[in-house]
Amino acid sequence: AQSVTQLGSHVSVSEGALVLLRCNYSSSVPPYLFWYVQYPNQGLQLLLKYTTGATLVKGINGFEAEFKKSETSFHLTKPSAHMSDAAEYFCAVKDDKLIFGTGTRLQVFP
């Protein structure tokens, strides 16, 4: 069965600092991987996805993620955090259904 582990339930960064949110997956087949963002009191919005091809995937709002098969990782990064990036971030792997990680809350301090 596929699974997702997000390391760190809370991440705090200063505005302008690098954002790194970690995600490791377990899958017996080539995975489809996703990052979703949830702003307060809103639904989930797709940030980016990896299916096949280029392992560095660019998403919305300046985020990107790199699929590393050898490390079974799909970490999310952004070079410079903005206050508006404060939200809950979910990594997910697709089996016959989407399996979500437990989420990482990103706080951005001025």
Partner 1 sequence: DTAVSQTPKYLVTQMGNDKSIKCEQNLGHDTMYWYKQDSKKFLKIMFSYNNKELIINETVPNRFSPKSPDKAHLNLHINSLELGDSAVYFCASSFTGTSGSGEQFFGPGTRLTVL
Backbone angles phi, psi at 60, to 5 degrees: -80, 165
Per CB under 8 A, 64 contacts partner 1: no
The bridge status of strand 10-14 relative to strand 3-5 is: unpaired
- Identify which of residues 33 and 108 has a Cβ nearer to partner 1 in the complex: 33
Q: Distance (Å, rounded) from C-alpha 56 to C-alpha 64?
A: 7
Interface mask toward partner 1 for 27-56; x: CB under 8 A: -----x-x-x-x--xxxxxx--x-x-----
How far is Cα 108 from Cα 101, in angstroms, rounded to an integer?
21
Q: What does the binding site for partner 1 look like in residue numbers (CB under 8 A)?
A: 32, 34, 36, 38, 41-46, 49, 51, 88, 90, 94, 96-98, 100, 102-103, 105
